[in-house]
Amino acid sequence: MEYEISHRPSYSLLRVKLSEGESITAESGAMVYMSPNIEMQTRTRGGGGLGGLLKSIKVAALGAESFWINTFTARGGDGEVALAPAIPGDVHMLELADEGYIVQSGSYLASTSGIEVDTKWKGFRGLLTEGDLFMLHISGSGKLFVAALGALEERELAPGERLTIDNGHLVAWSDSVRYDVRRVGGLKSLVASGEGLVVDVEGPGKVVLQTRNPGAFVNWLLPFLSGGERSDRGLGLRLGI
């Protein structure tokens, strides 16, 4: 499999060239175009049966993940499929070698065979927002493609190296990274600065950050969509009201 990411970092497009029989799985709605010999199979995220259906409903309700996922396979020769995230921003590839990553809901774009996306994972300690945020645990060997708002930056943390990250900018991190979620400041600083929660991370491992905060962007955009009146929804979400 070969891939190319173009038009980055603002409007990234992922082009994947598949050899005969090769597959890639992606979020529903991510396909921009594909070769005529690409076979697309659609299934619920949680797998088959009633349990899988209920799991898919939960994933869609708790996060920004799609109810469906698509698998693209080249049949009768080589083929090509182009994928793009729903939001304007960058696409980043993580090469997994029998390891795992924790990925923020909505940032998963695609993965090759050999990668398992666990929607039942319960290991996340704490919340990255004041409401429920669904996290994915992705593991195995292969290529994982994540997407986010703005550009993406990968940081390699040495053993014992620490970093404090605003919750809205954290996209993914190695499951070898230790982390702790805490509130920064009080109500006064929350109202004045917009800060609410931060994540303290400690290496070894990788951390992937996005240069734009989706929550802050939505709050900035809302006045233009509501006739010029600034909305306090962003603050309400942080306060849990």
Q: 């708790």: which residue's tokens?
A: 62
How high is the pLDDT of residue 183? 81
How high is the pLDDT of residue 221? 76
Is the pLDDT at 3 greater than 50? The verdict is yes
pTM confidence score: 0.79
- 2-239 topology per CATH: Double-stranded beta-helix (3.60.160)
What is the spatial distance between Cα 162 and Cα 155, in angstroms, rounded to a whole number?
A: 11
- In the chain, pLDDT over 90 holds for what percent of residues? 53
pLDDT-based confidence at residue 224 (cuts at 50, 70, 90): confident
Comparing 24 with 179, the larger pLDDT belongs to: 24
Boundaries of every domain in the chain? 2-239
| Weakest-pLDDT range from 29-33, 79-83, 124-128 | 124-128
Is the pLDDT at 129 greater than 90? The verdict is no
CA–CA distances in Å: residue 104 to residues 15, 62, 231: 23, 11, 25
Non-local CB neighbours of 111 within 8 Å, separated by 6+ positions: 24, 25, 117, 138, 142, 143, 144, 145
CA angle 23, 35, 32 (to 5 degrees): 85
Helix (H, G, I), strand (E, B) or coil at 145: strand
Element (H, E) at 58: helix 49-62
Comparing 230 with 70, the larger pLDDT belongs to: 70
What average pLDDT does the segment 2-20 reach?
96
What is the spatial distance between Cα 73 and Cα 22, in angstroms, rounded to a whole number?
A: 6
How high is the pLDDT of residue 104? 85
Is the pLDDT at 194 greater than 50? The verdict is no
What is the spatial distance between Cα 10 and Cα 128, in angstroms, rounded to a whole number?
A: 25
